[in-house]
Amino acid sequence: MTPKKILGWGAVALVVLFISSGDTFKFLPKPAREASKTSREFVVSLWPKWLRPKDTNEQREKEIDKIEKGQGAK
């Protein structure tokens, strides 16, 4: 690999590290930590809805609430 490729992949690795966990680094100033969080929220919002994690227990919790209220489950 050429030095340009190594530097390029190193820069990509630093960007990914900053976006993924930059808000936990206490040595960074507050605006930089907030930029990390904002960047992460932006990147996550680019994912399609069908790839996002789903609450698999949501329907079960609704049925339990219905039973507890005395309405019965369908």
Do 44 and 53 touch, CB atoms closer than 8 A?
no
Instruction: Provide the residue count of the chain.
Output: 74
Residue 32 lies in a domain: yes
Residue 31 lies in a domain: yes
Backbone angles phi, psi at 72, to 5 degrees: 80, 160
Separation of alpha carbons 32 and 39, rounded Å: 10
Separation of alpha carbons 21 and 15, rounded Å: 10
Residue 37 lies in a domain: yes
Residue 74 lies in a domain: no
pLDDT, tens digit (0-9, with 9 covering 90-100), for 27-66: 989 998 899 999 988 988 888 877 777 777 888 888 889 8
pTM over 0.75: no
pLDDT, tens digit (0-9, with 9 covering 90-100), for 24-34: 888 989 998 89
Give the domain range for residue 28: 3-69
β strands within 1-64, DSSP E: none
Domain count of the chain? 1
Separation of alpha carbons 20 and 13, rounded Å: 10
